[in-house]
Copies of this chain bind each other. A is one copy, B any other.
Amino acid sequence: RTPIELAVIPGDGIGPEVTREALKVLDVVAPETFTATHYSLGAEHYLTTGEVLPDEVLEEVRGRDAILLGAIGGKPNDPGIPPGLLERNLLLRLRFALDHHVNLRPSRLYPGVASPLANPGEIDFVVVREGTEGPYTGNGGSIRQGTPQEVATEVSLNTAFGIERVVRDAFARADKRRKKLTLVHKTNVLVHAGSMWWRIVNEVAEEFPEVAVDYLHIDAATIFMVTDPARFDVIVTDNLFGDIITDLAAAVTGGIGLAASGNLNPSRTTPSMFEPVHGSAPDIAGQQKADPTAAILSGAMLLDFFGFAEGAERIEQAVAADIAERVAGESRPTAAIGDAIAARV
């Protein structure tokens, strides 16, 4: 159905600037496809109002079709914001409340982008990170806080239900790509969760006989990520290992300035959320210094999610063409990059 109702959360720092460019490009490639309602949420909003994500706002957002998010986060070590508060009560709350179980993070080394690797090869893979379980559930606690006898636990919660749905999603993606799936875990140490991941990957593998299955411990996966990242096609992994491997993947493909992500509920019973992987970078905020490419590519993921594959493809090609012409050391204003990509789509 159109128009698609977007909840736009520009957030903090460079968030508003890059989100503006993402919307600009969406508007060119798919005019009259979206309506946007802006929500003021994030560090600034919290510092002014004391609110993080009021229940009414969450429920209103739940009624939209999708969320476009810029970046969340105040100045580093701002004493006015308890550490982790916005991450847990805004970003992770949205992911958990809206059941964003497929956290999709593509990694591609665009021609013309400098990788920190000497011989990066052709990097083009996607990570399917589980988004609603594992060590991210906030389960755990501590006793005797602040004393030499303090004990703290962090509990990773894992369900066959939760694993099976992302594993199936990852296999389906691999089946449409180069037909290779790599499970990343630490099964030799985290044996309870690990053996369940193993079992379910092997079970679902029978439905996808053409997909070759590989396994790497997370530590070995980080090695291959710098020695042979071209080996990866689709990686499926848990919430924490996915967090780690996708930042490393962004680094080897030229930095988080280019990394897009989708927090998807493929069943579409709630709005999925699209966001650049980068943070709010308060040090360069409001100066038109931010690169909006990751936000623009997140917009392409949004389009693709709603079935506009051709429009998504046009944005990706426009981005690739823009990147290919970038000159090392150049600094175009945020809006100029958005304009240039919008002009190409």
Residue of B nearest to A84 (CB): B188
Stretch binding the partner chain, chosen from A15-23, A150-158, A171-179, A331-339? A150-158
Write the nearest CB–CB distance from A122 to chain B, whole angstroms: 16
Q: Determine if A190 is an interface residue (Cβ-Cβ < 8 Å).
A: yes
Q: Within 8 Å CB of A252, what residues of B?
A: 226
- The answer to whether A156 and B157 touch across the interface, beta carbons within 8 angstroms, is no
Is there an interface contact between B247 and A244, defined as CB atoms closer than 8 Å? no
| A192, CB-defined interface residue at 8 Å | yes
> Which residues of chain B come closer than 8 Å to A225, judged between CB atoms?
248
A139, closest chain B residue (CB): B153
Also in contact, A240 and B186, with CB within 8 A (given A154-B156, A160-B150, A248-B248): yes
* Of A49-57, A63-71, A215-223, A281-289, the one with at least 4 CB within 8 A of chain B: A215-223
Let me know if B227 and A150 touch, CB within 8 A: no
**Pairwise interchain contact A153-B222, C-beta atoms closer than 8 A:** no
B188 in contact with A88 (CB, 8 Å) = yes
Q: Is A2 an interface residue (CB 8 A)?
A: no
State A255–B107 Cα separation when bound (angstroms). 24
Interface range on chain A (Cβ under 8 Å from partner): 35 or more
A147 within 8 A of B: yes
Which of B83, B154, B198, B246 makes the CB contact (< 8 A) with A155?
B154
B226 touches A116 (CB 8 A): yes
A219 CB contact (under 8 Å) in B114, B218, B244? B244
Return A89 CB to nearest CB of chain B, in Å.
11
Q: Which of B154, B195, B219 touches A158 (beta carbons < 8 Å)?
A: B154
The answer, yes or no, to whether A256 is at the interface (CB within 8 Å) is yes
Q: Once the chains are docked, how many angstroms separate the CA of A248 from the CA of B117?
A: 13
Cβ of A226: which chain B residues have Cβ within 8 Å of it?
Answer: 116-117, 226, 248, 251-252
In the complex, whether A320 has a CB less than 8 A from a CB of chain B is: no
Q: Report which of B141, B151, B188, B246 forms a contact with A159, defined as CB distance below 8 A.
A: B151
Chain B proximity of A109: nearest CB distance (Å):
13
A189 vs B131: C-alpha distance when bound (angstroms):
13
Confirm or deny: A48 has a beta carbon within 8 angstroms of a beta carbon on chain B.
Answer: no
20 interchain pairs (CB within 8 A)?
Answer: A84-B187, A84-B189, A84-B194, A88-B188, A117-B118, A135-B135, A140-B156, A140-B190, A144-B160, A145-B196, A154-B156, A154-B190, A156-B156, A218-B243, A222-B245, A222-B251, A223-B247, A223-B248, A226-B226, A227-B251
